[in-house]
Amino acid sequence: MSDPRKLTYYSVDEPAVEVSDTDSMPEQAGHEPGSGQAAAGVNSGRWGKWLALGLVVALTAAVIESVLMVIERFQQNIFLGSLWAVGFGVIALALLSFMVRETWLLQKLKRRWKKQSEAPKPEQQLQLLQHPDLEHRWQQIKQPYWSADEERERFEVDVLSRIDQQATRIISRWAAEAAAMVAVSPFALLDMLIVMWRNQRMISRIAELYGVKLGYWARVRLWRQVFANIVYAGLSEVAVDLGAQWVSAELLTRLSTRAGQGLGAGLLTARLGYQVIELCRPMPFEKVKKPGYLKLQKDLLSQLKSVLPFVYKSRQTKAAATSEQEVEN
């Protein structure tokens, strides 16, 4: 490096490794935080603190109480006392390990969200994803001369998009199922609730695809984030959705109430699913198009057509009486 007019030669016997990750250029600044970050600021705030304080006090009281109780039992009868002690010990241990696992998983999810906005390298992402087959594929297509940006692009388009595809397929299936279920049920509102509850499973499946393990709290946190995103950050997206669905707005007015409800449930499910994708993806959508609703809507409608005899309004009145019977078959 001393004299720029001379090339520096190195011994060829020295061990050298194939370049697996080229240094990124300094221009790589952190980019737009993903939607995962969007509502992160919405915090429980003051109330949460008081609540936590109350809980801690109550918990301490409970622990002291139970210790006192066990001691009392010991004094009465050694055998019974030790039984109680073992019982409490096991419960405490279980609780503790549960808590540790929960915090760990929650921390992992949070760390992931933080990372998502830091333009992680493909190798880091692969670590998060835990898909050995994709790792193999990445090794195959990766070129040593790529810049960090090129790497990210190729990784997203050639590797990550495969998971996106699987996730989108899952969402389509669940959305269609939800749509059908709500559409044929006589208690649409109730079913809506059931569907939401069932969506838990979908969320776990998607999260799993992206290598995210969900504990209870992590799940709650995810749900909260999902809703927060739908309500707060999703506003602009809703506008986009409306734009995309604008063609079919006229269609919506023609739909029968049943089909409308079904479609609504389906779209809501899909919306949940897409949110989860964005939250679990190790990087935000850049070169790959976000999964869209347009095709989904078509799928949903065709699904509805297969379960509902009458999807459109005009004929619904005529057939209102018979429809329920047919549905039962």
Q: Is 222 exposed, middle or buried (0-12, 13-18, 19+ CB in 10 A)?
A: buried
Q: Compare residues 1 and 321 and give the one whose CB is closer to another protein.
A: 1
| SS3 state of residue 251 | helix
Question: Which of the stretches 29-37, 141-149, 206-214, 258-266 binds another protein when contact is defined by CB under 8 A?
Answer: 141-149
Cα four-point dihedral sign 314, 178, 167, 241: positive
What's 285's DSSP letter?
Answer: -
Residue with smaller CB distance to another protein, 26 or 45: 26
Rounded Cα–Cα distance for residues 169 and 175 (Å): 10
From the list 225, 247, 227, the residue with the least C-alpha distance to 292 is 247
Residues 6+ apart with CB under 8 A from 192: 182, 261, 265
Shortest distance (Å) from residue 145 CB to another protein: 4
Min CB(156)–another protein separation in Å: 12
Please report which residue ranges of 77-155 form alpha helices under DSSP H: 78-116, 122-129, 132-141, 148-154
Q: CB 151 → another protein: shortest distance, Å? A: 10
Q: Which is nearer to another protein, 23 or 328 (CB)?
A: 23
- C-alpha dist (Å) from residue 233 to 35, 76, 290, 291, 294: 7, 61, 16, 17, 21
Q: Is the dihedral of CA 236, 218, 54, 49 positive or negative?
A: negative
Stretch that binds another protein, among 3-11, 37-45, 126-134, 160-168 (CB under 8 A): 3-11
* H or E stretch covering 65: helix 45-76
8 binds another protein (CB under 8 A): yes
C-beta of 45 vs 144, nearer to another protein:
144
Site string for another protein, 10-39 (x = CB under 8 A): xxx-xxxxxx--xx-x--------------
Site string for another protein, 156-185 (x = CB under 8 A): -xx---------------------------
How many binding residues for another protein (CB under 8 A)?
29
CA–CA separation, 1 and 307 (whole Å): 73
| 147 scored as a contact of another protein (CB under 8 A) | yes
Determine which residue in the list 141, 235, 239, 247 makes contact with another protein, applying CB under 8 A. Answer: 141
Helical (H) or strand (E) element with 322 = helix 316-328
Q: Does 5 bind another protein (CB under 8 A)?
A: yes
- Residue 42's identity, in one-letter code, is V
Site for another protein contains 243 (CB under 8 A): no
User: Using the rule CB under 8 A, is 7 a contact of another protein?
Assistant: yes
- Residue 58 CB neighbour total at 10 angstroms: 10
136 binds another protein (CB under 8 A): no
Q: Which region among 8-16, 128-136, 291-299, 313-321 touches another protein (by CB under 8 A)?
A: 8-16
For another protein, the closer CB: 7 or 189: 7
Residue 140, interface with another protein (CB under 8 A)?
A: yes
- CB nearer to another protein: give 11 or 325: 11
Q: Which of 112, 154, 219, 221 binds another protein (CB under 8 A)?
A: 154
What is the SS3 assignment for 312?
Answer: strand
Give the residues lining the site for another protein (CB under 8 A). Answer: 1, 4-12, 14-19, 22-23, 25, 140-141, 143-147, 154, 157-158
